[in-house]
Amino acid sequence: MQIRNTLPQLRRHYHISPRLLFAAGLVALFVAIPLAYIFFRATTGGEEVWLRLLQTRIWKLLGNTLLLAATVTGGATLVGVTMSFLTERTDLPGRKVFRWMLAMPLAIPAYIGGIVHLTLLRPRGGLIPQLLAEWFGQPIPTPSPLGFGGAAFILTLFMFPYVYLLSGAAFRSLNASLEEASRTFGRSNWQTLWEVTLPALRPGITAGALLVALDVLAEYGTVALLRYETFSSAIFVQLSGRYDRSAAAVLSGVLIVIAVMILWGELRLQGQARYTQMDSQWRPAPTLPLKKWKVPAFLLVSLVVFSSLLVPVIVLAAWSVQALLDPAALASIMRSGSQTFGNYAWNSLWASALAAVIAVLLSLPVALLSARYPNKLTQAISRFCQVGYAIPGVVIALSLVLLVNRYLPFLYATPLIVVMAYVLRHMPQAVRASESALNQLSPSMEEASRTLGRTSIQTIFQVILPLIVPGLLAGAGLVFLTSLKELPATLLLRPAGFDTLAVRVWVWASEGFYIQAAPAALLLVVASAAPLYFLLRREQIFR
């Protein structure tokens, strides 16, 4: 709040730097062009393509996609809020360990979780149905992980941590006095939870739910694997099947519209209510005793941890051992063409790391502008640079294929085009992290620096940057983490010989060779877990 108060004063001192505005404008343009191009292609795709798609596909895809997004968002919200309530507000045994274990599934890409659960649960062929059949001497019908039910289950299982983390932080920061007041007015504990606590947590929960909804729209691997058709997978099929990009562009245009509508809906929802707290009087809320619910609650949390974290990790580890012990499998895993396993791992690491560095660098002018000179224009630029959230990897890949091949052929078929896709797709995370880092920095620092004779550029490099480095690293960590997992954009844009861990997992798994896919999958999970650990350490609930 302090920052906002000093801003008018700041503006009197210096007007918006034209250089900064220009740089931020360039970044926004960089983000905007693929989007604009897809819309251009979609709207000029030709009446015939639209008619064909309207007659055959769009309505079914629309129904499928929205149904899945709604179900998974609802499911992830339910699971996430329940888990954060139990670990933050009750005397659940082992809650400190559970806090970690509930966040860790973020390191497991949903398609890898899907591969594991598919082999376990597949009717008749899966390990669990087989075991049941052995125990009971006859086949026992089990729910199939394929289709809508399976996709909703898997996506909920691996996306609830978004809601869990954001609502957990909100639970933690909630002031005890709010609930005390509610009880003073005669509400029971449960009434307080429903009528006071949860509504106060709404911003955190909505933000988490938004991430889930947008992620479902962008998801390709899981829905393709479990054979449930959404816009994302249909675009991919169009791209790889037909020798014509118009249909893919049309479907992409519709998908972007859905995503933007979800973003807009969230903005409206958030805009209606404000919950302000007085920080000076903050006290943590007391923990609620679970009493007779202790055992069921413990079992419930264990079940979630078991299926979203332990099962995938254990199964991947077991398969990896199996693969390492089988010389034939090992030989085929280790090489593809003249490239080796070390190449894939290295490609994954450097491409994601480079994307993280570039995304953070590009986010700086935007964040500086919106944090220091908040007005409608700078806010619009900042919002705009976050539109990558709403563009699935497959759409970014399509726009880059079309644009780069046409205007920058020398960049096409180099790893840099893959990096560019990562930057475009994951820039929002960098922008948000940089903005929040800058917002925590008092403008008086800059004023002092300027007073002491430094230029604005010197101030940025000598004063601001060193102070916000931890925040920037967090943004870079997020971009790195999500780039590592990115599948559809990598699949479509990779040059020959430039496979990443995610691509290797997919190449093997889509052919049905799950054991061969395991070592790359396990390494991917481990590589994601490391930055995730450091990101979580920054949060209060993980100290």
Should residue 335 be labelled a site residue for other proteins when binding is judged by CB under 8 A? Answer: yes
407 near other proteins, rule: CB under 8 A: yes
The letter for the amino acid at 239 is L
* Closest CB 102 distance from other proteins, rounded Å: 32
**Using rule CB under 8 A, residue 57 touches other proteins:** yes
User: Which of residues 10, 290, 357, 377 is near other proteins by CB under 8 A?
Assistant: 357
Determine, following the binding rule CB under 8 A, whether residue 122 of this chain makes contact with other proteins: yes
Residue 14 sits in the site that holds other proteins (CB under 8 A):
no
325: contact with other proteins by CB under 8 A: no
Whole-angstrom distance, CA of residue 302 vs CA of residue 314: 15
Quote the CA–CA distance of 439 and 437 in Å, as a whole number. Answer: 5
Tell me the closest approach of the beta carbon of residue 29 to other proteins, in angstroms: 6
Residue 214 or 354 with smaller CB distance to other proteins:
354
Alpha carbon 79 to its chain centroid, in Å, reads 17
CB of 30 to other proteins, least distance (A): 5
Considering the complex, state which of residue 187 and residue 245 has its C-beta at the smaller distance from other proteins: 245
DSSP 277-311: --GGG--BPPPBP-GGGHHHHHHHHHHHHIIIIIH
Residue 317 to residue 523: CA distance in whole angstroms: 10
Contacts of 72 (CB under 8 A, 6+ apart): 152, 155, 156, 159, 212, 213, 216
Comparison of 195 and 511: residue with beta carbon closer to other proteins: 511
Q: Does 354 bind other proteins (CB under 8 A)?
A: yes
> Shortest Cβ distance from residue 437 to other proteins (Å)?
21
Q: With binding defined as CB under 8 A, does residue 494 bind other proteins?
A: yes
Q: Name the E strands within 123-179.
A: none
Stretch that binds other proteins, among 98-106, 159-167, 377-385, 397-405 (CB under 8 A): 397-405
Question: Considering only residues 510-539, where is the footprint of other proteins by CB under 8 A?
Answer: 510-513, 516
Residue 451 CA to residue 255 CA, distance in Å, equals: 50
Angle between helices 95-103 and 58-89 (to 10 degrees): 160
Residue 224 in contact with other proteins, rule: CB under 8 A: yes
Cα angle 248-252-254, degrees, rounded to a multiple of 5: 120
19 binds other proteins (CB under 8 A): no
d(CA 222, CA 112): 8
**Contact indicator for 520, 344 with CB cutoff of 8 Å:** yes
Question: Which position among 135, 136, 190, 243 is part of the footprint of other proteins (CB under 8 A)?
Answer: 243
Counting Cα atoms < 13 Å in the Cβ hemisphere of 247 gives 22
- Confirm or reject binding of residue 26 to other proteins (CB under 8 A): yes
Smallest gap from Cβ 331 to other proteins, in A, equals 8
C-alpha–C-alpha distance, residues 496 and 339, integer Å = 10
Which burial class, exposed, middle or buried, applies to 325 when counting CB atoms under 10 A from its CB (0-12, 13-18, 19+)?
exposed
* Residues making contact with other proteins (CB under 8 A): 26, 29-30, 33, 36, 40, 56-57, 60, 122-125, 224-225, 227, 229, 237, 239-244, 332, 335-340, 342-343, 346-347, 350, 354, 357-358, 361, 401, 403-405, 407-409, 411-413, 416, 419-420, 491, 494-497, 507-508, 510-513, 516
